[in-house]
Structure 1
């Protein structure tokens, strides 16, 4: 009978939320108040809210209470790319492109069509890529301060595929992986699908809190750490040399596999050495050509110790067999003729211009960014709720992401991430002005 009462209370709350009688942002009674009002135990009251939270209807926030969520928003809020209205201004995804890139591709296809090697591109490729192309990417990585032999470089279908084969080839379901409290959503999805347990490392001084990482290693049997030491997404930090050395020491002391995501590293000028140079025997370094060249060029690179290459190649075989031969040929040609280096320099300058526009248009808002990154992390004031900001912006045809897709901790901060790389500069300025206007209105309310 008690269970029937508890279930009917859940259903009553759910109906009120879905009908709009309980509006988004409404603070619900505390667990104790609900227990007294409904004449039930505190444990049962807590179970009511837990079930509503599991249904995606409320969110419990430590120190603040339990609030009705904005259920008209996608539950993913940025994890999965969705089609949006043609006039929606996209500050959710980054696909930075320069006006010259279309003509570059047209010319590259013409050149490839007249090459003598075209027939070879129709056949299956070696799982890790053709030797001369692995050597080409090895030379490219050396320009980014990672000196590694071609035999230790594998070509993959973009950086996300690189992360996937690393998880499949080197980790097992149930393994515990440390990751930043705010991290790349694509890795969170991989961890969920593959049955990894993510433990959260808080942020501290432009990098992960390494003291907390050590405490985690002492309490738990952690198998790996996933990190972005150079141009962290979404916080934009570049870890200092001393922080990197300390992280490597901890990894070696506790036998951690380091997964180094360097997909945005090209945007940072003169960063410290990659972790893969400091700990080559324990680090898998993952990069790609989606951000520095174009998302449609599904080519990535995984650099790893020789002992792990066979396992990673098996994972490539199981997932995609080999990298797209035509795209790889074009990327390698662009590496050799300097096109990739030129695009990276132009995009660094493009990102700086966009950050400059953001500083002007978001003046007075306390946000976190790197001066040459394509994203901004914007924490909201205590009284402002992220889901309501996102909904208000959607009504004004601006798409942004909340912190939810990025959070690995139970506590999800009220913040939004702004991706700056998908709109032309005048349109970006318009979108940022709208963001500032909406946040000010929500703060005033």
Structure 2
């Protein structure tokens, strides 16, 4: 009888290579759930290793939660119920619904990347010992060098600037607002805006003033009028892929905003968190005016939500203020997460992942255009999001409710409003959220049918 005999990677200790082979075989279906692993002596003979190596490998697989040793019977791949006991708690989906609400990175190479990085770390006990210690406030010097090299490929300059590591984009927003604003100060934002800036302003008791937008983004003339009237401290922008509308500011508008903010001494907080292919990003506001701009990005969209790391680039004149605010909120970051990220930066895996994300989103955007072309606004080809302006007769909350009744979850324009002004009816679709293109196509078909049928007839009013 032929027994399962994997090929082991030669660049790892054999017991770790075998444990990883078990994990890979379970993932690709080569080893079935509840299947018995080969007896240790027979597998040792087949692989020309010691029984001790097999014992360590099986123990490592058990430690990872992949298999279970049953006394007197052998070692078995865990059943689905044993491997995924909390899957319903982890899964944020509503059963029977396709979720297009949150801009998560679509599933791809991330799990294997993380598995490989963690396996490499566990094979080096001294490295683990170093990473378990508190990191220096600004991070380990080798990690900072990795980030500095990576930033050379981003739309940012470090000339007369420096960078700090944050716990993601929201943390960068909170740190910046806390450092530069006091109670009663004013922040200008786009009239439809990422709610995280509103939360940070509310926490600091800072007033938010919305600025009019058109199909090209925020209008410079409106910013000028607001600067004259409100004397703001900050202007918060998402210029590359406006969240939620998806517009991209032209170079001309970016330069006009820089000129206005320079005249009125307003700092620009430039949010570049939303994923977009590097070639689709024009010159950043920070590159146009590094002395006037705080730029930040994060890796939750480039990798996945658990990668709670970001970079915040600030002018040297503001560096100490921002650093003190960062110190007060968190002191430092987890070197374990940072080390994983630096591995991917240095070995090219992060660049490969971003290339994959770009291709995947090109395909998903194309699917969306096939289904919803008559109702779409202009969007970036690699963006996770899509802005859907609703035809006459619809209200945003009515469309959201009807979509939900038909099994699709979308985000209302009302969720992004500043103050009490009700925006024009629209919804944001996160094309990246479904687990595959087929599920996305199914959801978009539902939305297309709803749009073609039109809103439900309302009761007559007398």
Q: Please classify the TM superposition score into its range, dividing by the shorter chain length.
A: 0.7 to 0.9
Greater CA deviation, 386-395 or 403-412? 403-412
Aligned to 2:249: 239
Of the structure 1 ranges 154-163 and 198-207, higher mean CA displacement relative to structure 2 is found in 198-207
Query: Map of 1:17-56 to 2, 5 A cutoff?
Result: none
Contact 2:361 2:382 in 1 (8 A): yes
Q: Does 1:353 align with 2:360?
A: no
Question: Aligned match of 1:211 in 217, 221, 231?
Answer: 221
Deviation for aligned residue 1:123? 1.8
TM-score calculated relative to the size of structure 1: 0.78
Question: What is the alpha-carbon distance in structure 2 between the residues aligned to residue 390 and residue 224 of structure 1?
Answer: 33
Structure 2 residue 188 is the aligned partner of structure 1 residue 173: no
Aligned residue in 1 for 2:115? 106
Secondary structure of the residue aligned to 2:108 is coil
Distance 1:120 1:170, change over 3 A: farther
Candidates 421, 432, 441, aligned match of 2:432: 421
Q: Offset at 1:249?
A: 0.7
Deviates more, 1:387-396 or 1:112-121: 112-121
TM value normalised by structure 2: 0.75
The corresponding residue for 2:84 is: none
Question: 1:202 matched to which residue of 2?
Answer: 212
Query: 221-230 or 311-320: which moved more?
Result: 311-320
Aligned to 1:254: 264
* Structure 1, 357-366 or 208-217: larger mean CA deviation: 357-366
1:180-195 correspondence runs (5 A): 180-195=190-205
Change (3 A) 1:374 1:266: closer
Residues in 2 aligned to 1:161 and 1:135: alpha-carbon distance in whole angstroms? 22
**Aligned pair 1:85/2:85, yes or no?**
no
Change in CA separation of 1:436 and 1:293 when aligned onto 2, cut-off 3 Å: same
Aligned to 2:76: none
C-alpha separation in 2, matches of 1:151 and 1:365:
43
**Equivalences for residues 233-382 of structure 1 within 5 A:** 233-264=243-274, 266-382=276-392
Question: Residue 139 of structure 1: CA displacement?
Answer: 1.7
Does residue 163 in structure 1 map to residue 173 in structure 2? yes
Distance between the aligned counterparts of 1:392 and 1:270, measured in 2?
Answer: 34
Matching residue of 2:146: 136
Q: Which moved more, 1:177-186 or 1:407-416?
A: 407-416
- Does the C-alpha gap of structure 1 residues 88 and 440 become closer, same or farther in structure 2, counting only changes over 3 Å? same
2:410 aligned with 1:397, yes or no?
Answer: no
Report if the CA contact (8 A) 2:300-2:306 is conserved: yes
2:257 counterpart SS class? helix
Alignment of 1:3-14 (within 5 A): none
Deviation at 1:88, TM superposition (A): 1.8
1:411 aligns with 2:422: yes
Let me know the Cα RMSD of the aligned residues: 2.0
**Residues 160 and 316, structure 2, Cα contact 8 Å, conserved in 1:** no
Shift of 1:156: 1.0
Are residues 383 and 82 of structure 1, via their aligned partners in 2, closer, same or farther at CA, if it must alter by over 3 Å?
Answer: farther
Q: 1: CA distance between counterparts of 2:351 and 2:180? A: 32
- Which structure 2 segments of 5+ residues have no match? 1-89, 458-462
Specify every segment of 5 or more residues in structure 1 that has no aligned partner in the other structure, as ranges: 1-80
Following TM superposition, the consecutive aligned residue runs of length 4 or more in structure 1 with deviations greater than 6 angstroms are none
Distance, in Å, in 1 between the alignment partners of 2:110 and 2:92 is 23
